[in-house]
Amino acid sequence: MIKVITYGTYDLLHHGHIRLLERAKALGDYLIVGVTADDFDKTRGKINVQQSLIERIEAVKATGLADEIIIEEYEGQKIDDIKKYDIDIFTVGSDWVGKFDYLNEYCEVVYLERTKGISSSELREEKRSIHLGLVGNSSFLNKVKDEAEYVNGIQISALCTDNLNIMSDEIKKVDFITNDYFKLINNVDAVYIRSLPNMHYDQIKYALNNGKHVLCESPLTLDEKQTMELFELAKSKNLILMEAIKTAYATAYRRLLLLVKSGKIGDIVSVDATCTSLKNNDNDWPGIYEWGPTALLPVLQMLGSNCKDYRIVSHIDKNTQLDNFTKIDFLYEHSVASIKVGDGVKSEGQLIISGTKAYVYVPAPWWKTDYFEIRYENQNNNQRYFYRLEGEGIRHELVSFVKSIENNIYLGNIDIIVTRDITKILNFFEKGIYQKI
Ligand code: C2G
């Protein structure tokens, strides 16, 4: 019996895929199809896959061409599979010609002519393209513009800023540039807001009242009630309101969150996150807004919202009278947490999650990490995880925003309760409920 194997994402299955599978099947007597896992696709740069792994497996199964379906999860798995399944022929489309010659050492390699005129990415692009407007005075908008180039279904078509001189030449090519937010709103389908936190509430409310989806940097607002009011408004208008914290969309961070919540390190007893930078420009907002939401993310996503007590201590800059370093301690029923954040003090930007069986160590800068370790008492059992991260998570965040709009359901990685609690904690700050040193 001649056994054939082939691999693919098989997103939005089309006749090009089916022709490949038919010809692969004809090469032998038994065909195994390896369908790529979501994380594996992300690490190899395919971030726009529309369908889940299960949907893609079901579609391949429905063709009736595969005698067996497996999941491709890591680089190099093909060699393991060829040995494990005693494969005679590996085949793939001619768009990969040459890339898998190394498999000749293990089996015959056959490249089949790719079917012209059809591809999953073209099918994805055919979906309505969402016109996104960027709002704010931060050079970070240049990064968002660059990242959007990797995302199917969205195009940056407008910019609202008072600070055009720090914007890139690329971003200045957009169709519509203004410093008038209300004019911008009439020219887009959705907005990405990175303005001062105290402007968010009014800007989000106006956008939603004009039928626009919103992706807004955290904190969404500075008042818990306002945050919940905006989510209600978005829901009533069938619009997407999504908080932007790019770390939540970094593959490594997502995986460590899932591992920890699955009990991998036992009961979580402590979460300790540090994020600091030295002011890259004279923000006239409290330093806690720069890093507070990011540092709060693992605390709230791992320990939840039933914190019994907080202690907020801030180091105040003598000149600006603003906090340039803040430490917040949290007391939960059976755990503690602490965050140290600052936009005027340097410290070790690591994340440590302490558990009853092991602990997670994420090296600095943990908030854009592609790597973490799970460390045990017996160091021989330590495990290292690596997930390539392109673009600090911004492109994945934009993909999530687009998918939410296209599917008309919130598919973001940050629960509304977490967004609410970030607002609540920062509101303590707004009200001055913190100790100054
Ligand atoms: N294909 C084809 N004709 C097309 C599109 C795709 O013959 N018009 C083939 C591809 O060459 C591949 C298979 O169909 O052999 C699945 O294509 P994709 O889902 O795009 O997956 P891809 O990333 O190309 O998978 O490691 C090998 C890769 O996983 C191949």
DSSP letters of 2-58?
Answer: -EEEEEE--TT--HHHHHHHHHHHHTSSEEEEEEEPHHHHHHTT-----S-HHHHHH
- Rounded mean pLDDT, 21-40: 97
What is the spatial distance between Cα 190 and Cα 407, in angstroms, rounded to a whole number?
15
Which tens digits make up the pLDDT trace of 82-123? Answer: 999 999 999 999 999 999 999 999 999 999 999 999 988 888
CA distance 305 to 300: 6
Q: Give DSSP secondary structure letters for 79-90.
A: HHHHHHTT-SEE
User: Do residues 128 and 104 make contact, with C-beta atoms less than 8 angstroms apart?
Assistant: no
In this model, does residue 75 exceed pLDDT 60?
yes
Check residue 49 and give its pLDDT. Answer: 92
Is the separation of the CB atoms in 434 and 312 below 8 Å? yes
* Among the listed residues 370, 305, 369, 307, the one whose alpha carbon sits nearest the alpha carbon of residue 336: 307
Query: Average of pLDDT values for 63-91?
Result: 96
Tell me if 3-121 shares its fold with 124-245.
Answer: yes
Q: Which atom of ligand 1 is nearest to the CA of 94?
A: 11
> pLDDT of 151-202, one tens digit each?
988 999 999 999 999 999 999 999 999 999 999 999 999 999 999 999 999 9
pLDDT above 90 covers what percent of the chain? 85
Task: Give the containing element (helix H, strand E) for 135.
Answer: strand 130-136
Cα(21) to centroid of ligand 1, in Å? 10
Which token pair is 410? 């919130």
Q: Supply φ then ψ for residue 314, to 5 degrees.
A: -125, 140
Report CA(7)–ligand 1 centroid distance (Å).
7
Per-residue confidence (pLDDT) for residue 198, from 0 to 100:
92
The domain limits of the chain are 3-121, 124-245, 248-436
- Ligand 1: residue whose CA is nearest its atom 26: 7
**With 60 as the cut, is the pLDDT of residue 22 above it?**
yes
Q: Quick one: pLDDT at residue 431?
A: 84
User: How many secondary structure helices (H) and strands (E) does the chain include?
Assistant: 13, 20
Residue 10 CA: nearest ligand 1 atom is: 19
User: Which pLDDT value is given to residue 433?
Assistant: 81
Concatenated DSSP letters for 139-195? THHHHHHHHHTT-TTEEEEEEE-S-GGGS-TTGGGSSEEES-HHHHHTT-SEEEEES
Q: What is the mean pLDDT of the chain?
A: 94
CATH superfamily of 124-245: NAD(P)-binding Rossmann-like Domain (3.40.50.720)
The atom of ligand 1 lying closest to the CA of 120 is 20
Predicted confidence at residue 282, as pLDDT, reads: 58
**Residue 281 — very low, low, confident or very high, per pLDDT cuts 50/70/90?**
low
Has residue 209 got a pLDDT over 60? yes
Fold category of 248-436 in CATH: Dihydrodipicolinate Reductase; domain 2 (3.30.360)
**Pocket of ligand 1 from Cβ distances under 6 Å:** 7-11, 16-17, 20, 36, 92-93, 95-96, 114-115, 118-120
- Other Cβ atoms closer than 10 A to 97: 14
Q: How many CB atoms lie within 10 A of CB 392?
A: 19
Q: Considering only CA atoms, which residue is closest to atom 24 of ligand 1? A: 8
**Phi then psi dihedrals of residue 27, to 5 deg:** -75, -20
d(CA 113, CA 87): 21
Instruction: At 82, list the tokens.
Output: 């060829």
State which of 44, 82, 114, 121 you would mutate to test the pocket of ligand 1, scoring each by most atoms of that ligand within 8 A of its C-beta: 114
Q: Write down the architecture of domain 3-121 according to CATH.
A: 3-Layer(aba) Sandwich (3.40)
Is residue 293 over pLDDT 70? yes
Q: What is the pLDDT of residue 338?
A: 98
Instruction: Find the angle CA(369)-CA(250)-CA(419) to the nearest 5 degrees.
Output: 115
pTM: 0.86
Q: How far is the CA of 40 from the centre of ligand 1 (A)?
A: 15
